[in-house]
Structure 1
Amino acid sequence: MIPYFTPDSFLETVQEFKVTATMLVPTMLYTILDNPRIDEFDLSSLETVYYGAAAASPTRLKEAIDKFGQIFFQFYGQAECPMTITVLRKGEHDTNDLARLATCGRPVPWVDVALLDEEGNKVTRGEPGEICVRGPLVMGGYWNKPEETEAAFEFGWLHTGDIAREDAEGFYTIVDRKKDMIISGGFNVFPREIEDVLGTHPAVAQSAVIGVPDEKWGESVKAIVVLRPGQSVDADDLMSLVKEAKGAHYAPKSVEFVEEIPLSPLGKPDKKALRAQYWSDATRQVN
């Protein structure tokens, strides 16, 4: 193990110790890909790169597969159940199908997984619903927190808080955290879908999309964007890109370019921190 992650230390360690398997969160993978020294290292020992903890940009994932080969394996899960709810296996990473790379795979056989609506009913395939899990390997509850436990197990299922769609082949695509969904002018807008579109632009390294206060629409879509080294793009071009791909109500009303996006201790984009500066004096909860 290395004491802390940097792109250089990762590349040096893989080369020196002939590392065969590792675990990365997407932001780590992006910084490795963007490291100008990447081609100086022999990384041929790598056989498996496990990744998870946050959604990966399908465009950047394709870039990684083109660079390292079909060695990527995705886990999706949480501590309350057996850490793994769905997996996207190596052979299922099809670089000719970005929609497939945007998925978190298919449910594992040792838990019962369903997408439920607000009333606890299973949604029609293709429609968004909350990923819910039940089975003998799911936790019994939160220690000394009966109210939180009752809420988590509404309708007899453990609620993950993640909204997803299931395709015809049974692959789940997480469209966002339930609490991150933006309601703008009566439309439910899922930031993950916007982030995936922004990621297709060659100048974009990473993005985070949040809802900010808007007197007319309640919330408006704001994109925070990190550019690839040496690249540039106009905000209007990114707005138009999303509008063309997803429609006007998904298009960001504003774009902010930053050097980096704040991360949580787990390496996920910290959207609570991003929202806080806009909602500190407003009524929306930012947790």
Structure 2
Amino acid sequence: MAEVSAQQTGISPGKIWLKSYPPGIAAEIGPLPYKSIGEFFDHAVARYSSRPAFTCMGKTLTFADLNAQSARIGAWLQSIGLAKGDRVAVMMPNILQNPVIVYGILRAGFTVVNVNPLYTPRELQHQLTDSGAKAIFVLENFAHTVQQVVDKTAVKHVVVATMGDMLGLKGAIVNLVVRRVKKLVPAWSIPGHLSFKDVLSKGGRAKLTKPNVAASDVAFLQYTGGTTGVSKGATLTHSNLLSNMAQMEIWFQTAFRSRTRPDNLVFMCALPLYHIFALTVNSLMGLATGGNNILIPNPRDIPGFVKELGKHNTNIFPGLNTLFNALMNNAEFQKLDFSSLMLTFGGGMAIQRPVAERWKQMTGCSIAEGYGLSETSPVATANILDATEFTGTIGMPIPSTDVEIRDDQGNTLAIGEVGEICIRGPQVMAGYWQRPDETAKAISPDGFFRSGDIGFMNADGLVKIVDRKKDMILVSGFNVFPNEIEEVAMTHPGILECAAIGIPDEHSGEAVKLFVVKRDAALTEEEVKRHCAANLTNYKRPRFVEFRTELPKTNVGKILRKDLRG
């Protein structure tokens, strides 16, 4: 991507972080060389044609393979009569089909709606209805969820993939193990669905027409709670994501100031591609740098993940505090060779200093922490990537990004004063999908996104988070909102009142605790958990339930969660 220097832009002296930029690191990105991700994709696959792009379960797709297969997906989508800008949902873990589908959707001029495969029917129905998705691609393991809600949505086309679809001859064996041995595919029936292989075949007989996509067109609807309750779609344009890539490409230079950058970078992709962190830092940055992303379908299987790690000379490892912690507690991980590891990038949740220090000791590589949100595509701040010491901060604003600490009235606070972290830059979303009221609350008239996180900036321009403005709970990097949990719990006839809070947890950062006032004296903890499990995906479910005779309230009757947190 094109760059300009700080001297050329006349940067205002208010950007105190610029004095902490290393020499040669541009303060701003230049004009974007591509107006769409499709254009960028065409350039990347032409430039890196023969290189590996994605590897999963021993099978590798080259950039040329990715180009050919995604063109088939795009051609099929155009052939079924979707209009430019129509939304297409993708409900997939980290398998080769995921990038093939996502880039096919984008190249055809449609909008990707990323869906967590572990969603319950209630959560999936909300997202499909809110986005107005016309089609969905789903792995068969999760087709039973789609089956329960598809008739209540605008979805007209369902494509079902299997784990083995892109694994060649061993695909049949993988499918047998997944279905018959591990029994990971619940029974499902969706009349009129197509198989992923059918779609590839049909797409191969059609022709992909290059759409006229503008930089301001919507590339992704990335669902998030934002800073308040109900899940909303962060509207991310092609320009938002291309800008964040340009910013990251400049920042990547800080990782290779004192060491040689390998020709063929290897990225470890354990974070889910439906999450904005992996989408940008793994998938898009992998394409931009000609790197190979090693896809890990199930990072919760730590022994299996460690075995896979041992097969690759990983250079770049984005991850979360909980993942790094779990890996280090595995005896086999401690025996691995980390000599090729050049960058460990932490985000999604706070990196705990003991974890960072242990990681440095075990791997020889420091964790560089960054910060962002779905609404910022996601990266807004980052530490210098070749730093040898853990700073305990989220770093400084990346190029073309302004960060201000503001009070509740919107006034900018002085260095060291604590307030809300507010972000402005070309990576900030266009707004929340079809929610102008929520957009107006989230983005100030002068273009700053109110993050909902509370922190301060030091004299070097480094930002430190100290708390969260709202009652949001952060479980393994995922936003969990008490309102949603309480609403689900209250549908149980045995519950009179309830309140959800986050409590510290060494594995997931935080865990959900639910305080309950019984309506039915016979109500048990197991019943409450079972009810929540039926309506909430795993990370949102209360891990702890405590019964109370009453809950603390304000004089107008509002439950005081802060009193429950103690």
The bucket for the TM-score relative to the shorter chain is: 0.5 to 0.7
Cα separation, 1, equivalents of 2:368 and 2:506? 25
Cα separation, 2, equivalents of 1:84 and 1:280? 44
- Summarize the Cα distance change of 1:20–1:164 in structure 2 as closer, same or farther, 3 Å threshold: same
- CA deviations over 1:61-110 (Å, ceiling 9, x no partner): 11111211235332211121231110012333425xxxx2x100011121
- Measured after TM superposition, the shift of residue 222 of structure 1 is 9.3
Structure 2 unpaired stretches of 5+: 1-294, 475-500, 508-535, 552-558
Give the conservation status (yes or no) of the 8 Å contact 1:113–1:133.
yes
Match of 1:8 in 2: 303
In structure 2, the residue corresponding to 1:75 is in which secondary structure?
strand
Match of 2:85 in 1: none
In structure 2, the residue corresponding to 1:53 is in which secondary structure?
coil
Rg comparison, structure with higher value = 2
Residue 453 of structure 2, aligned match among 154, 159, 162: 162
- CA deviations over 1:243-272 (Å, ceiling 9, x no partner): xxxxxxxxxxxxxxxxxxxxx98x9x86x9
In structure 2, the residue corresponding to 1:139 is in which secondary structure?
coil
Matched, 1:25 2:301: no
In structure 2, the residue corresponding to 1:16 is in which secondary structure?
coil
Higher percent of residues as helix = 2
Matched, 1:94 2:389: yes
The percentage of aligned residue pairs carrying the same residue is: 27
- Summarize the Cα distance change of 1:224–1:75 in structure 2 as closer, same or farther, 3 Å threshold: closer
- Summarize the Cα distance change of 1:144–1:107 in structure 2 as closer, same or farther, 3 Å threshold: same
In structure 1, the residue corresponding to 2:325 is in which secondary structure?
helix
Residue 142 of structure 1, aligned match among 421, 428, 432: 432
- Summarize the Cα distance change of 1:226–1:26 in structure 2 as closer, same or farther, 3 Å threshold: closer
Amino acid at match of 2:410: G
Q: How does 1:163-242 map to 2 (within 5 A)?
A: 163-180=454-471, 224-226=504-506
Cα separation, 1, equivalents of 2:437 and 2:549? 27
- Measured after TM superposition, the shift of residue 223 of structure 1 is 5.8
Match of 2:271 in 1: none
Cα separation, 1, equivalents of 2:307 and 2:549? 43
Amino acid at match of 2:413: V
Residue 374 of structure 2, aligned match among 73, 79, 83: 79
Structure 1 unpaired stretches of 5+: 182-190, 193-220, 228-263
- CA deviations over 1:211-260 (Å, ceiling 9, x no partner): xxxxxxxxxx9964549xxxxxxxxxxxxxxxxxxxxxxxxxxxxxxxxx
Amino acid at match of 1:169: D
In structure 2, the residue corresponding to 1:169 is in which secondary structure?
coil
In structure 1, the residue corresponding to 2:310 is in which secondary structure?
helix
Residue 353 of structure 2, aligned match among 58, 64, 68: 58
Cα separation, 1, equivalents of 2:399 and 2:549? 43
Matched, 1:119 2:409: yes
Give the conservation status (yes or no) of the 8 Å contact 1:14–1:43.
no
Give the TM-score taking structure 1 as reference length: 0.62
- Measured after TM superposition, the shift of residue 25 of structure 1 is 0.9
Give the TM-score taking structure 2 as reference length: 0.33
Cα separation, 1, equivalents of 2:462 and 2:332? 36
Match of 2:418 in 1: 128
Cα separation, 2, equivalents of 1:279 and 1:121? 41
- Measured after TM superposition, the shift of residue 275 of structure 1 is 8.6
Amino acid at match of 2:298: Y
- Summarize the Cα distance change of 1:154–1:121 in structure 2 as closer, same or farther, 3 Å threshold: same
- Measured after TM superposition, the shift of residue 57 of structure 1 is 0.5
Cα separation, 1, equivalents of 2:502 and 2:372? 28
In structure 2, the residue corresponding to 1:80 is in which secondary structure?
helix
Cα separation, 2, equivalents of 1:93 and 1:155? 39
In structure 2, the residue corresponding to 1:85 is in which secondary structure?
strand
Question: Which piece of structure 1 moves more, 6-15 or 109-118?
Answer: 6-15
- CA deviations over 1:122-181 (Å, ceiling 9, x no partner): 112112111111234322211111111111023532101111111121111111221149
Match of 1:152 in 2: 442
- Summarize the Cα distance change of 1:178–1:147 in structure 2 as closer, same or farther, 3 Å threshold: same
Query: For this pair of structures, how many residues does the alignment match?
Result: 207
Cα separation, 1, equivalents of 2:313 and 2:438? 45
Give the conservation status (yes or no) of the 8 Å contact 1:2–1:9.
no
Cα separation, 1, equivalents of 2:451 and 2:363? 32
Match of 2:397 in 1: 107
Amino acid at match of 1:2: I
Match of 1:45 in 2: 340
Residue 284 of structure 1, aligned match among 560, 563, 566: 560
Amino acid at match of 2:332: R
Question: Which piece of structure 1 moves more, 119-128 or 69-78?
Answer: 69-78
